[in-house]
Amino acid sequence: MDIEEILKKNRDNKEDEVTGNVHTRGLKLGYKTFTLLVIFFIVFNIFTGQTSYAIQSIFCGVIAAEYYEKHKFSKEKIFLAVFILSCIAFIVLLLNHVKHILS
């Protein structure tokens, strides 16, 4: 490998790192925005006398997906526990939402 190839690979790696960093920052901002919207809609529904089963179900689904990936990567039991509990909450809330809509 000559010096030009090494420099080109180094520049490419830095561009990949910057792209990854921007992607990660975007995901963090999106997650914070999503959480704030969930809280807003739950509080709004409390004041208007509506249920929040659908919103809570979606939130639990997102939590379950996140912790599934964390457990898959790290194999930590706490992540598995959060994943399982989030899945249970997701299913219960989803069924409550369907039951409420159909009744």
Q: How far does the chain reach from its first CA to its final CA, in angstroms? A: 71
- Predicted TM-score (pTM) of the model is 0.78
Residues 4 and 37 in one domain: yes
Q: Range of 26's domain?
A: 1-48
Instruction: Say if residue 67 is exposed, middle or buried (CB neighbours under 10 Å; 0-12, 13-18, 19+).
Output: buried
- The contacts of residue 60 (CB under 8 Å, 6+ apart) are 86, 87, 89, 90, 93
- What's residue 6's pLDDT? 62
Residue in this structure with the two tokens 């807003």, named with its chain if needed: 40
* Shared-domain flag, residues 56 and 99: yes
Report CA Rg, the chain: 21
Tens of pLDDT, residues 3-45: 667 656 666 666 667 777 788 899 899 999 999 999 999 999 9
pLDDT tens for 43-85 read 999 999 999 999 999 999 999 999 999 999 999 999 999 999 9
Q: Assess whether 34 and 73 both reside in one domain.
A: no
57/32 same-domain check: no
